[in-house]
Structure 1
Amino acid sequence: MEGREITFNSVGSTCAGIHLRGEHSASEPRPCVVMAHGFSGTVGGGILGFGEGPAAAGFDVLLFDYRGFGRSAGTPRQLVSYRRQRADYRSAIHAAFRRLHLGMTHLREHCAEPVVGGRSGPE
């Protein structure tokens, strides 16, 4: 599955991402899943495959690299920071709504807060 490269601002740095458009979805706006790799991974490090399932089910997917990782700008490079990465997630969610014109109304109608999940390990 091919995606469209996008960028967005996060706390003064440019984050790089890939937008996968939901397949077979006629709804407008479409719901969107925002994903990033674990603490130090990148989009180029294998997360693209995890985004293909939701996209095949009709969800748009925004995959992105944290500031200082992968194709995203920012220094210092490779700094694992829970606070910085949370801020990047917030910026990515806002970018999905603003730049991709996805699901803000739908989200407000069906969720009190955005749902964010994560998982580590092979299980």
Structure 2
Amino acid sequence: MSNDKLSIDQTELVQEWSNVLPTTLQPTDQARVWADEADPQTVRVHIEAGGHTGYNFDFKVNYVDAREVKVELMDVQQGTMHIDETGDVVQNLVDDYVRHIHECAQTLHRVTHV
């Protein structure tokens, strides 16, 4: 881990994530990004899986430094029901979305690592 601090304003960071994240997801997936009010180095991501599954995923994306993010799954729902995230289908989706979140962070190096 380096000492490179994140040098972008959280509001701008949320805007950049909101613009770039949808380009890393499937066209039928929907994403929403907002600021974590408790931590200016963190954004929250909500992804609604496309198709008829009704799965919704909430992630916490924390910038460890200007280059590296730590992604934590916070919640999985199907419709309005909280569900177990350890099933194979859900776990595969979680892994896929974590990969897409890392792709987004990599794309945003141009604004986060200056």
TM over 0.5: no
TM-score (norm. length: structure 2): 0.40
TM-score (norm. length: structure 1): 0.38
Task: Tell me which protein shows more strand as a share of its residues.
Answer: 2
Task: Tell me which protein shows more helix as a share of its residues.
Answer: 2
